[in-house]
Chains A and B, each alone.
Chain A
Amino acid sequence: MTSTTTAPPARPAAPTKSAGERVSGTVVKWGFVAVTALLILFFVVSEPNFRTVDNVFGMLKFIAPTAIAGLGVMLAMTVGGIDLSVGASAGFAVSIAAWTMVIANQVGGVAVSVVLVCGLLIGALNAFLIVVARIPDLLATLTTMFVIVGLKLIIVDGKSISSQMTLSNGTTAPGKFTADFLWLDRGSIGPVPIPVILFLLITVLLWFLLERTRWGRALFAVGTNAEAARLSGIRVQWYRTAAYMGCGLLASVAGLLLAARIGQGDVTAGNSLLLDAVAVALVGVSVLGIGRPNAWGTALGAVLIAVMVTGFTMAGLPYYAQDFGKGIVLLVALLFSFTFSRRRTVVTAGSTTSAS
């Protein structure tokens, strides 16, 4: 306790910022939007094909699974955690959807339901490991990743499942990818493809949940200071569980879109999704200088990556140049979030064990 006999000097109402601070503040806030806009402008000028409506929706459709999985990771990050099992969950969803339709001969609706339930269960497993078993989130979800990748391979016998495939007993698989399931990728409402609609819908929904409702506020409170949240009467463990289950659900939605796109139960699907999803969520933290996980930032991060990948491809750059580009984007994002930002960035992945 410190007691000075004089009252502390009243702080100035608005601290005057130096020009340098103001510039860096502007860069932190608008840098990412500007980079995305410039990149789009560049491709619009240099690549005639880039500026077609088809291409715009094509890009968004291409990135939708990554974006949705990234929104899932973002949700886990709101409670101060992270989910490394999103890629595996999506891959699991691909194989399970294929298995349900092809081997178990069910319609698409059943496959979707089974996959979504599986996603929730994977989220519940993560939540159990983190909240009840008190394993740090990074390790818990890493373990889950291994477990569900392995489980997937056991279920499908290590093979990709496709329509009319020959089973091990010599017979032909009874079912196939049904048209209603494939509609998830190929359908559209007006000119807008279904994956793009899902992407936008989920973004708006999460933005609304996180920024406008008390549940969103509570999720952030848990991530910012779990102990203060608990003392404020917030059921911290419930919110953690909900966040991980939501993440699992979104990862399996991403998996459904992938399955519908590929049209078969490719066992390697989803392998590359994890890194992109985490990158998108991390980029989202820095976008607009918000400094905490948020839905629109994550969506914008996904769009930026889509623009980059599409543009690079059109420009004829090899695929590995894309990874390099993504890496640079992520690096810049992290510099904005952690190095240049005056605000404290709340990404505590890997450090949250659930105390009490």
Chain B
Amino acid sequence: MTDPLADRPGGHDTVVSPVGVPAGGVVSLAGVSVAYGSNVVLQGVDLAFGAGEITALLGANGAGKSTLIKALSGANARYGGEIRIGGDLVHLSSPVQARQLGISTVHQKVADGIVPGLSVAENLTLDDLAQASRHPLRRRRQALADARAALATLGLDWNDAVLERDAATLPISDAQLLVLARALRSTPRLLILDEPTSALTAAEAERLFDVLRALRANGLSIVYVSHRFGEIEALADRVVVLRDGLVQSVSSRPFAWHELLHDMLGRQTALENERGTAARGTDAVARLEGVVALPDSPPIDLEIRRGEVLGVLGLIGAGKTELAELLGGLAQPLAGRLTLEGAAYAPKRPSDAIRAGVVLVPEDRQKQGILPGWSVLRNITLPFLAESSALGLLRRRSERSRADTVIDTLSVVTAGPDALIDDLSGGNQQKVVVGRWLSAKPRLALLDEPFRGVDIAARREIGARLAAIAADGAAAVVFSSDVDEILEVADRIVVLVAGRIELDRYADDVDRPTIIHAFLGETAASSPAAGTAPSPAATTGESAPAGSTTTESDPERTSP
């Protein structure tokens, strides 16, 4: 890691003109930087958080929000630069220490903060378990009293029956309040909330906002991470935009949303210059007829056409992974039918799909894609062992030629086909996984979040390969929750919201705001399902990998 203080990238100092921040602030950061290996995720962040102030943290996936929060909450002790609390230089080495110093964090996944099997009261007083000074026996009365006191900070009064329930039985919104109350027990000076409303209904979120406003009035400094502009508009005093590990802008009310979006997503203008006309597909390679991907969502019809790259855009829970999985043979549609090249297509398992010429690059590279400890070559040839063998005997030359082809066509940076996959950077690992599947010469290539953790150079190369196979008469579908990624690679754009198609247009025939509007579900604010449907994030079991903040929000509840 380079010395974060010595050589800060220029250009952003001019942007950082903290507006309305008391000098020093409650917590201040100077040149905070974090690198994972050679991958610099935060490159010298200067920020100050003042008392009685709500600071919203905005940024696209991979902008560095999670990394910043990890450093601030003590979850990542290996940061560079200075963090000061009340003017004193501190080194945050563990969450417990950060909490003792006055920084409490409520993480995005509420379920992870709850210990099932313990009562609500015990969960509220969970931190006491780790304190040696506490009474060694679990005292029920004491726990109840402590729990009630903790809830009182939120103005809540839960009765004993609720406090003694198994915490796992609490509805998600109450669980959210529970972890919030617990975070406030240590009377923090800075409270970090990571997407606190992602599982809440609008009414529940409103209740939370009231609580947060009251806390602000008491002088608490709050960092609020969210993708929902409506909430930020309603709540925040300041907005900090992160992009590519840098503070892009700090602004105070009134917020200029268009500029904030631009700060957040950046590449917009460059992209528009770069893209010419979008390729028009010809006939359908695959067709979805009346397919229901998510429970309670309407049936959809979709044509996947030869010769074009289709980009399916949707938030987590919008049904895009489900769609990819049922095409790839990992799941069966709840209703409706699929056809491939005009014939009925009902894969029961991935091997059926592969045989039919449909390949899936799965969402989670580490868990579903690569074989750790294996060579690049063996990672590439795994699905094609039958083709690379005679009577079961593997033919080294055939494996080798396939691996060389993949490495060449995608310019994989590696010491050679026999290098371990683990020694490759994330982007190159992804190129190996994508290249593996494209080397099957598929009729239909499905790529679920192929650009997660992938740098822009690798993304361009993968995008070019997709365009090439489409030009050769195949079809490619990219599933993503990132508008820019989709705009960059897709010829045709389909926006999924809560399992239904919100928009289906060619890329050169639609403008960016229209896509974003559709994407955020703003045209469907009156959907009757809102408020009654269970939170998709909770029901699909889909989760964002650690280290990346995914746009995890229920579009139905986005109130701009």
Could you tell me which A residues sit within 8 Å of B by CB distance? Answer: 1-5, 7-11, 13-15, 212-215, 217-218, 221, 224-225, 227-235, 291-292, 343-344, 346
Contacts and interface: CB of A to CB of B under 8 A. Distances in A.
Nearest to B368: A227
Interface stretch (B25-33, B34-42, B80-88, B164-172): B34-42
A235 B382 CA distance: 12
B457 A7 contact: yes
Contacts of A215: 392
A230 B485 CA distance: 28
B394 A228 contact: no
A213 B394 contact: yes
A232 B373 contact: no
Given A214-B388, A221-B382, 10 more contacts: A1-B485, A4-B456, A13-B416, A231-B362, A232-B382, A233-B350, A233-B354, A291-B373, A344-B372, A346-B373
B457 A11 contact: no
A128 B423 CA distance: 37
Interface in B322-381: 328, 330, 349-351, 353-355, 360, 362, 367-374, 378
A8 B455 contact: yes
Nearest to A211: B394
A294 B453 CA distance: 34
Given A7-B457, A221-B382, A231 B368 contact: yes
Nearest to B547: A2
Interface string B450-463: 01111111010000
A9 B413 CA distance: 10
A231 B327 CA distance: 12
Interface string B486-512: 000000000000000000000000000
Contacts of A212: 393-394
B39 A2 contact: yes
Given A214-B388, A224-B371, A232-B350, A3 B455 contact: yes
B457 to A, nearest CB: 4
Contacts of A4: 39-40, 244-245, 455-456
Nearest to B423: A11
A214 B386 contact: yes
13 contacts: A1-B61, A2-B453, A2-B455, A3-B456, A3-B459, A4-B39, A8-B427, A8-B455, A11-B423, A13-B415, A232-B382, A233-B355, A235-B351
Given A224-B373, A224-B374, A232-B350, A1 B386 contact: no
B181 to A, nearest CB: 33
The number of chain B residues touching the other chain, given as a range, is: 35 or more
B413 A11 contact: yes
Contact of B244 (A5, A230, A291): A5
A11 B451 contact: no
B455 A7 contact: yes
A292 B451 contact: no
B62 A3 contact: yes
A2 B62 contact: yes
Nearest to A346: B373
Contact of B452 (A1, A225, A344): A1
Contacts of B415: 11, 13-14
A8 B39 contact: yes
A321 to B, nearest CB: 37
Contacts of B482: 1
Contact of A234 (B330, B351, B355, B452): B351
Nearest to A224: B371
A354 to B, nearest CB: 14
A138 B174 CA distance: 39
Contacts of B173: none
A229 B354 CA distance: 13
A8 B37 CA distance: 11
B393 A213 contact: yes
A162 B382 CA distance: 51
B401 interface: no
B439 interface: no
A343 B423 CA distance: 11
A233 B368 CA distance: 12
B385 interface: yes
B425 interface: yes
B76 interface: no
Interface string B529-547: 0000000000000000000
B544 to A, nearest CB: 11
Given A2-B455, A5-B456, A214-B389, A233 B373 contact: no
A217 B330 contact: no
B383 interface: yes
A271 B392 CA distance: 37
A225 B371 contact: yes
Contacts of B385: 214, 217-218
Contacts of B3: none
Contact of B360 (A5, A227, A231): A231
B348 to A, nearest CB: 11
Interface string B429-471: 0000000000000000000000111111101000000000000
Nearest to A232: B383
B245 to A, nearest CB: 8
Nearest to B243: A3
Nearest to A2: B62
B456 A9 contact: no
B259 interface: no
Contact of A1 (B360, B416, B453): B453
Given A1-B453, A10-B413, A291-B373, A213 B548 contact: no
Given A1-B452, A231-B360, A217 B459 contact: no
Nearest to A345: B373
Interface string B191-204: 00000000000000
B422 interface: yes
Nearest to A344: B373
A343 B372 CA distance: 10
A308 B543 CA distance: 52
A228 B382 contact: yes
Nearest to B387: A214
Contacts of B420: 343
A3 B61 CA distance: 9
Contact of B392 (A1, A13, A213, A292): A213
Instruction: Choose among A13, A214, A227, A346 the residue with the greatest number of B CB atoms under 10 Å from its CB.
Output: A214
